[in-house]
Amino acid sequence: MKTVITIDGPSGAGKGTISQLLAKELGWDFLDSGAIYRLCGLACTNAGIDFTDVAAVTDIAKQLDIKFSITDAGLKTYLAGEEVTAKLRTEQAGTAASHVASIPAVREELLQRQRDFAHGDAGGLIADGRDMGTVVFKNAACKFYLTATAEERANRRYNQLKLAGENVNLAAILQDIKDRDDRDMNRAVAPLKPADDAITIDSTDMSIETVFKSLLGIISDNNLA
């Protein structure tokens, strides 16, 4: 198994950006587990399946045909052969993901696919998600919990979406983030929480650069890369 470093935390804390920067710097693989749940949510929406139909959603998770490819422009994602990278980043896709992710049978179906990312002896894996350190990679070499206030995360998401040309409303985004936190932190299976052995970093007043350097420093102090 590869050396695994997990980065968990709530929506909009900067996990995705930091994880990709670290993977690039170290020359390691990257697992965006949220994208797997987003792909599952999108597949349900495409098939006209209601998120409350547990059997149908679980069936979709079982048959999910997905592919990731790392390019200079970032991570590209495919669902049944179609590139859906931009579609996955919308608030709608995030909310759909949060709904399907609260179904225990869906999490069980998607568990092995996530663990497969750590197969191999060479190099390492940066695993980004909600339960990377608590469930999927309990024996990870190093675990981080990256967080920030809901207000700061809403501001960041607002700026990101606006830049992407989406018509957005800050109050609605803040409410969506709070609802998503509530669903992710209070679900029965694999709720979002720091692993007992995780290092918590509150990025509210930190730049991406500072967070990146801080994590890289800890990784190097622990001789992990």
Residues that bind ligand DC (CB under 6 A): 11, 33-34, 37-38, 94, 97-98, 101, 129-131, 180, 184
Closer to ligand DC by Cβ: residue 26 or 100 = 100
Closer to ligand DC by Cβ: residue 181 or 202 = 181
Closer to ligand DC by Cβ: residue 176 or 215 = 176
* Integer CA distances (angstroms), 158 to 128, 153, 215, in order: 21, 8, 25
How many C-beta atoms lie closer than 10 Å to residue 74's C-beta? Answer: 11
Please state the closest distance from residue 71 (CB atom) to ligand DC, in A. Answer: 19
Closer to ligand DC by Cβ: residue 30 or 37 = 37
How crowded is the C-beta side of 209, counted as CA atoms within 13 Å? 0
Radius of gyration of the chain (CA): 17
How many C-beta atoms lie closer than 10 Å to residue 166's C-beta? Answer: 12
Structure-derived torsion over alpha carbons of residues 152, 157, 162, 167, reported in degrees to the nearest 10: -110
Give me the residue whose beta carbon is nearest to ligand DC: 34
Closer to ligand DC by Cβ: residue 132 or 215 = 132
CA distance 13 to 149: 8
Please state the closest distance from residue 200 (CB atom) to ligand DC, in A. Answer: 17
Please state the closest distance from residue 133 (CB atom) to ligand DC, in A. Answer: 10
Please state the closest distance from residue 199 (CB atom) to ligand DC, in A. Answer: 18
Please state the closest distance from residue 223 (CB atom) to ligand DC, in A. Answer: 27
Question: Over the range 34-58, which residues count as b (16 or more CB within 10 Å of their CB) and which as e?
Answer: bbbbbbbbbbbbeeebebeeeeebb
